[in-house]
Amino acid sequence: MSLLDVVAIVAAGFAAGAINVVVGSGTMITFPTLLALGYPPVVANVSNTVGLVPGSVMGAWGYREELRGQRGRVLRFGLLALIGGTAGAVLLLALPPGAFEAIVPVLIVLACVLVALQPWIARRLKERPAGREHGGPVVWFLILLTAVYGGYFGAAQGVLLLAVMGLALSDTLQRLNAVKNVQAGLVNLVAGIVFAFVADVDWAVAGLIAAGSALGGLLGARIGRRLSPAVLRVVIIVVGVSAVVYLVTQ
């Protein structure tokens, strides 16, 4: 690994860590970078998943104020993240690489549409009975599916999570973004543990991404917490659309 490779991987990890905390889709930076440097797709994917864990941890720490009062929600959804992330990691190792290629762009487009329409839909749902603190079985199932997807690949996992939670739960976008950071971190962590035992992780690459993503996560939290809900929503949509363009052109 050359010095230029090291700088490129750390820089990609830094950018991914920052973007993941604000919205998600940091994988769209690190994964192509590793492929461009000659790493095989599966090795790049699993090494990237392991390396992005510190960025999510630092992002969650940066959003600790927004996490106050959400312990029950974090515990409930966290369990789904652990189960789904494990299942997704197993699927990555068991299924053909192109198994999800058709459905992933559709899911991301749908998530972008839901995020864009969330204020209007929320107003339409205002007369619903109370009790949207944790959602119901349908919400939990969708969050579980998002975790499975995150363990499998993870690009735009944050966009999908924010779309589901934004429509199903009565809370601000910033507080939901804080929960999203914890969720993504848990998914990456449990998937990374699976990969560490049964997959070909390049630990040098994972370590470089980890160093960059940790710093990026701190910066991303500082930026993300200062964005208005409207601006944050625009960022989510732009990143989500960019992820779709990347996926369909590969």
Q: What is the pLDDT of residue 114?
A: 64
Confidence (pTM): 0.76
**DSSP structure string for the chain:** --HHHHHHHHHHHHHHHHHHHHTS-THHHHHHHHHHTT--HHHHHHHHHHHTHHHHHHHHHHTHHHHTT-HHHHHHHHHHHHHHHHHHHHHHHHS-TTTTTTHHHHHHHHHHHHHHHHHHHHHHTTTSPS--SS--HHHHHHHHHHHHHHHHT-TTHHHHHHHHHHHHS-S-HHHHHHHHHHHHHHHHHHHHHHHHHHS---HHHHHHHHHHHHHHHHHHHHHHTTS-HHHHHHHHHHHHHHHHHHHHT-
Domain that holds residue 201: 3-248
Predicted local confidence at residue 210, as pLDDT = 93
One digit per residue, the tens of pLDDT, for the chain of length 250 reads: 788 889 999 999 998 888 888 777 777 778 788 888 888 877 888 898 889 888 888 888 888 888 888 888 889 899 999 999 999 989 888 877 666 566 667 766 766 676 666 566 555 544 444 445 556 778 889 899 989 988 887 767 777 787 788 777 777 778 888 888 899 889 988 988 898 888 788 999 999 999 999 999 888 888 877 777 677 667 667 766 776 676 667 6
* Tally of structural domains, the chain: 1
